[in-house]
Structure 1
Amino acid sequence: MASSAPDSESQTAPAITPQTHLHFVTGRLAEVALRTQVEQASRRDGFSYSVQVMPITVAALITPKWLLRHLEVPAGVSHVVLPGYCQSSIEDPSGSGSDVVSWRTRIAQAANLSSDKILCGPNDCRDIGAWLSGRTSKPDLTKHSIEIIAEINHAPRMSIEDVVALAERLRNDGADRIDLGCDPARRCEAIGDYTAALVQFGHRVSIDTFDSWEVEKAVDAGASLVLSVNESNRNLAADWGCEVVAIPDVPDDLKSLDETVALLERNQVPMRLDPILEPIGFGFGASLLRYTEVRRRYPEHAMMMGIGNLTELTDVDSAGVNMVLLALCEEFSIHSVLTTQVINWASSSVKECEVARRLVHHSLAEGVPPKRLSEELVMLRDPKLRPFAAEAIEALAAGVRDNNYRIIAQDGVIHLISAGVHLQGNDPFAILDELLRLPQSDNVDASHAFYLGYEMAKATTAMQLGKQYDQDQALKWGHLTQSEDLHRLARKSRHGNEGKARKQKK
């Protein structure tokens, strides 16, 4: 019963025909769940199959050499499907000298098949049905049409070195341009130095100030966009020789924006228009209508939307907000957004915009909703839960013969399973207390207790948030997910090797 892993760990499923016979290889603990998934897929897709349950508890511990000693492939098999965790190891070389071949080739020879008929499925057997149907294939999300401008607020309050380091992180997250946000209360005498340092490291730079002196110094040092221009400074724009962002004098005054646009056009100043997105409570809905009106009036001009007024000024995680705003931009042909990530709930806004712009571009280009395209912005809850059937849990509890502990969390209940042990409850402290009163608990040392506490804490968090819990796997937090080591499997493998070494010594 291996844990789930990204789809990239598995190979493409075979094309199914009435002659297809798939031979699945698994361990004892995954047998019930695998058979359930394969039987459903067989009825749906019309293929025959066989399942070989290896004499090993956890399929993820299967090695190619061990597999060759136990593999039994019936006649008429068209493909052998191994657990996903075998993917990397079967490509390793086997043998020496002129006899060096991959383990995949040796397995294929033993099965009397060609190497391309030896496949590795998904790591988690509960994904077999989706894998066989091809639903795990990924869409092309490489294209986008929206520029991300990442603002560094109050940049002059930071050192040049810190600004450059922050700009590099923002670029790595997807920013196309770095916006130097100046301090309205104090002129930055070194703004040219800040700009030049960013340009030196390959950044495209915009300057965010109404101080014409700061603008001139920044533009001289390589800034190529000025935020922003209205009645107060539009007469100077022709002298700067760069693109500007035109805004109304006050957000709901489109007449003043028209006047600024007309002047800039007469002076042939390149521009993009931003009617100003207002926060909720200050005319948010009306400001969205202004974007549609400006797009109607000026179909030939580029537009920008500053989205920080919504993400920074709303008590809500920013990912969903960014997704919706970039969808509006894509539909309105607004091809640049200005964002910042100061408040903690919006601290990954640049990365969220990077993901969102690809999703919305694909959605509009292909005429499909942005669903089942990517899980990177599904951060709080998981897209789908994959519970085990009650029969599978009971079979697991009855089939375990070793003292390693398995943890399953679903339907508000944590199951702790080992040889002769099946504890259930929703309180990890109570479960551990009950475990320590059992005779079988003599193997729970401090390290083991820490591990169980850590995993049950993850399980509790998963159930509270509606997330999938898989033992020894990181909870999925979208693009913020950080992988974890397979602590339980590594521990078991290490102890097994130590046992073999002791036997050999004797």
Structure 2
Amino acid sequence: MRVLLVTGRLAYPVVKSVAGKAADVIMLDIGVAAFVTPKLLEEAIKDKAEDYDLVLVTGLSSSDFSGLENKLGVKIRLGPKHAFDIPLALQYADKIEFSHKVSACQLLANIKRENAIKDYERLEEEAAPEFMLKGVKIGWTSTMKVMAEVVDATKLSDVDLIKKIDSYASADIIDLGVPLDSTPEAVMHAVKVARSATFKPISIDTLIPEYIEAGIEAGANMVLSLNGSNIDMIGNLIAEKDIPAVVIPDDETLESLCVNIQKCKDIGIEHIVADPVLSPVGHGAVESLERYIDFRKEHAGMPLFFGVGNITELIDADSIGVNALLAGFAMELDASILFTTEHSQKAINSADELKKACMMMALAKERKGPVKDLGIDLLVIKEKRPRKDLIEPGRVIEAKRHEWMTDPKGSFNIFIDNGTIYAKNGDITIAGKDAGPIMHTIIDRGLVSRLDHMGYLGAELMKAELAIRFNRTYLQDDRF
């Protein structure tokens, strides 16, 4: 395919460099390519349009080139917004139809993501599991599943329990953590409420036999966990009901884990998930990974439980990268279930992060390549590649503050709740998901009269929007 790239003076050297021999490049008599107009473009390419199958203008352009496209008889579409995405666009130039309105980089990102999700769904559909857990494939060639714990589930009100379960939309299995001071009645009630709130499998998380029995009676689909303290008392019931169980060691040794697994097998428990126990960083994390490696060497086919939450909850670092890395370790260990909690604020959204990480690992494993350029990623703060805005600064003026004056129209209290931004001025409260529409409504209703107040509100509303996007709290006038 013959492709012509259109750019301005500032970006020309970069565009020419990244395009190489894959496309021709023409420089228009403008500084910034985003300002290209149909008239300007027509003058530049009218004598050479027939030499090309596709003309790409910068994705930053707001002009409509569809009329010129019809006039010249050549496709004129939006390319990437940034020069460094040009090679990818050229790679797909003869495979997809670029748009008049959507930049090529966004179009390609959407296509790659859709293809990645389809590939992941195909992998899971074709997978052969070790066993099924209420319709969810566990182990063998199936993809890793995410189990999300509701901490102290029996202490929550029904409404709060349902809200927490709903927040785990990305999880495959819902785990109900049971505190020591609970009761069998409270366990039964929590399991019944959970079953009414979701179709996902429910696991009961306790070592106390009475609580496990109550959970099974109420309809729990899995038991977490069995060890030497409870196998003899509750193991027969689990075998009789044919319920999968996570088995842990008594003393975090491989020998103890193997002994407990054999006990479970001897009494007829068929579906066992082994948990060598992942230790927190600073308390034997590397040693625990060695246990996983040694166990996997001896038990190639047995499903493995990987307690990611043991690390994410006990390290003051953003959970996104931690979850991604641990999911990678789990993939190499051929783990089946990744366990997490969102008990602390810093771990919020871990279930979603882990699920996406599991998808990434499955795709990378199937494609036999690194965990990059898959179509889905966990890049939230940092960027994959730099974006350079080539603008001539003109005359530079040093920024200075001026004395703040109260707006006669009054002040605003800004806060967020459940994913919504609220801006309160007297008896009026404006609510929305994005900063822009809220600011527009404030202006349209005449609730602000000073330009500096408008600027302040715009900045605070954007901080509130970013807080929602990054699952953070927001407090007006606090540093973000």
Identity %: 24
Question: Aligned ranges for residues 197-208 of structure 1 at < 5 Å?
Answer: 197-200=193-196, 201-208=198-205
Q: Tell me if the contact between 2:349 and 2:471 (Cα under 8 Å) persists in the aligned partners.
A: no
Alignment of 1:385-404 (within 5 A): 385-388=386-389, 392-393=390-391, 396-398=392-394
Hey, what's the Cα distance between the residues in 2 that align with 1:456 and 1:220?
A: 51
- Change in Cα spacing, 1:296 to 1:478, as seen in structure 2 (3 Å) is farther
The corresponding residue for 2:16 is 39
Q: C-alpha displacement at 1:193, in angstroms?
A: 2.8
Q: Residue deviations 1:371-420, cap 9 Å, x none?
A: 344674234433332345xxx54xx234xxxxxxxxxxxxxxxxxxxxxx
- Number of paired residues? 376
User: 112, 115, 120: which is aligned to 2:78?
Assistant: 120
Correspondence 1:2-41 to 2 at 5 A = 15=1, 20-22=2-4, 24=6, 31-41=8-18
| 1:448 Cα deviation from its structure 2 partner | 6.2
Partner of 1:500: none
Give CA-to-partner distance per residue, 1:405-437, whole Å, 9 cap, x none.
xxxxxxxxxxxxxxxx4236xxxxx44569xxx
Matches within 5 A, 1:347-426: 347-373=348-374, 376-388=377-389, 392-393=390-391, 396-398=392-394, 421-423=395-397
Report matched runs for 1:67-466 at 5 Å.
67=38, 71-72=42-43, 73-77=45-49, 78=52, 79-84=54-59, 104=66, 106-113=67-74, 117-124=75-82, 127-128=85-86, 130-133=88-91, 138=112, 140-142=115-117, 143=120, 145-171=143-169, 174-187=170-183, 189-200=185-196, 201-235=198-232, 236-240=234-238, 241=241, 242-252=243-253, 254-269=254-269, 270-373=271-374, 376-388=377-389, 392-393=390-391, 396-398=392-394, 421-423=395-397, 430-431=399-400, 446-447=450-451, 450-451=454-455
Distance 2:147 2:162 in 1: 15
Letter of the 2:161 partner, please give it.
V
Task: Report the Cα distance in structure 2 between the residues aligned to 1:57 and 1:380, rounded to whole angstroms.
Answer: 27
| CA distance in structure 2 between the aligned counterparts of 1:371 and 1:250, rounded to whole angstroms | 38
**1:70, distance to aligned residue in structure 2 (A):** 7.5
The secondary structure found in structure 1 opposite 2:163 is helix
Whole-angstrom CA distance in 2 between matches of 1:170 and 1:317: 19
Q: CA deviation at 1:249?
A: 0.9
1:285-336 alpha-carbon deviations (Å, 9 max, x no partner): 2111111122122223111111211111122222222122211111111111
The Cα shift of 1:337 comes to: 1.1
The change in CA–CA distance for 1:302 and 1:126 in structure 2 (over 3 A counts) is: closer
User: Alpha-carbon deviation of 1:49?
Assistant: 3.4
Structure 2 distance, partners of 1:277, 1:309, is 7
Does the 8 Å CA contact 1:378/1:478 hold for their aligned counterparts? no
Equivalent AA in structure 2 for residue 109 of structure 1: N
Secondary structure of the residue aligned to 2:396 is strand
Contact 1:277 1:307 in 2 (8 A): yes
Aligned to 2:427: none
Which whole-Å CA distance do the structure 2 matches of 1:456 and 1:211 have between them? 49
Q: TM-score, normalised by structure 1?
A: 0.65
Distance 1:363 1:384 in 2: 20
Cα distance change, pair 203–160 in 1 and its aligned pair in 2 (3 A): farther
Any gaps of 5 or more consecutive residues in structure 2? 93-104, 125-142, 404-448, 473-480
Q: Which letter maps to 2:195?
A: V
Q: Counterpart amino acid of 1:351?
A: D
Letter in 2 for 1:38: V
The residue identity in structure 2 corresponding to 1:141 is A
Equivalent position of 1:50 in the other structure: 26
Deviating more after overlay: 120-129 vs 334-343: 120-129
CA separation of 1:456 and 1:300: change in aligned 2, threshold 3 A: closer
Gaps of 5+ in 1: 1-14, 91-102, 399-420, 425-429, 435-444, 462-473, 483-506
Distance in 2, Cα, partners of 1:131 & 1:220: 57
1:191-240 per-residue CA deviation (whole Å, 9 max, x = no partner) reads 22322232233121100012222222322332111000011111222313
Say if 1:83 and 1:385 are closer, same or farther in 2 by CA, change over 3 A. closer
- 37 and 456 in structure 1: CA distance in 2 versus 1, 3 angstrom threshold: farther
Equivalents in 1 of 2:85, 2:455: separation in Å?
27
- Residue deviations 1:341-374 (CA, integer Å, cap 9, x gap): 1222222211221121122222222222223446
Compared with structure 1, are the counterparts of its residues 70 and 387 closer, same or farther at alpha carbon in structure 2 (3 Å cutoff)?
Answer: closer
Question: Counterparts of 2:165 and 2:205 in 1: how far apart (Å)?
Answer: 15
Please tell me whether the aligned partners of residues 155 and 181 of structure 1 are also in contact (alpha carbons under 8 angstroms): yes
Rounded Cα–Cα distance in structure 2 between residues aligned with 1:480 and 1:374: 21
CA distance in 1, matches of 2:325, 2:146: 15
Question: 1:479: how far off?
Answer: 7.9
In structure 2, give the amino acid aligned to 1:76.
K
TM-score by length of 2: 0.68
Kept in 1, the 8 Å contact 2:11–2:33? The answer is: no
Distance 1:278 1:41 in 2: 46
Q: Is the 8 A contact 2:227 2:249 kept in 1?
A: yes
Deviations 1:97-156 (A, max 9, x none): xxxxxx84x44321223xxx2322123456445533559663753327111000010111
The whole-number CA distance in structure 2 between the counterparts of 1:192 and 1:456 is: 46
| CA positional deviation for 1:190 | 3.0
Contact 1:23 1:52 in 2 (8 A): no
